[in-house]
Amino acid sequence: MLCRHVQSYLDDYILSQIDKELADKIDNHLKECLDCQKRLEGNKQLFTVLKSLPTPDPGDYYWQQMEDSILAATVGENRQNSKLPEQAKTGPIGLMQRYLIPLTATFLLFLGSLYFANPVQNPILSGVSAIDSSSSYIMAEKSEEISDRSDSHIFTAIVASAPGSLGRYLIFADINGGTR
């Protein structure tokens, strides 16, 4: 055995808390190694001194405080481990992250869908065409409109999304504010 292995087991060896096979290996090493023998003797003296020192009674207050601190740590640890990641933040910031931000995003999407639902009635959007792309083909009159709008002056944005969702429209807007 190596010295570092023997030294890691010396306290257990002194207290006879290791199995017979390991104790025999340590005995064989101690017969040959003077450094480990010195450490063993030093540890034995330390145990003797520690056993001879009187242990003062800390009093009832100490034991009550110890019990309370263990109970508080145990209850706090269980409560902390039971939280899900989305429940971990509390207070105004946690509430805002959990409720206000998704609600605001949903509201803005709703307003945006109302705003772009009928672009002809909105004077700001007079140069915008929205074509429903939920069907598998675009009708001939719409494809002519697309080809008319695909000039160099036209900004074209295609929003790809699942059929039936709010973003299923192809939007064509004239950057210069021209008419349809």
User: What's the pLDDT tens digit per position in 83-135?
Assistant: 555 555 666 777 777 788 888 888 888 888 877 776 555 444 444 455 554 44
Q: Give start and end residues of each alpha helix (H) in the chain.
A: 3-14, 20-32, 34-52, 60-81, 91-95, 101-117, 140-149
Answer yes or no: are the C-beta atoms of 36 and 29 closer than 8 Å. yes
User: What's the pLDDT tens digit per position in 1-30?
Assistant: 789 999 999 999 999 999 999 999 999 999
| 173: CB partners within 8 A, 6+ apart | 125, 127, 128, 129, 154, 155, 156, 157
- For residue 36, count CB atoms less than 10 angstroms from its CB and return exposed for 0-12, middle for 13-18, buried for 19 or more: buried
Domain residues of the chain, as ranges? 3-52, 93-174
State the Cα–Cα distance between residues 38 and 87, nearest whole angstrom: 57
pTM: 0.35
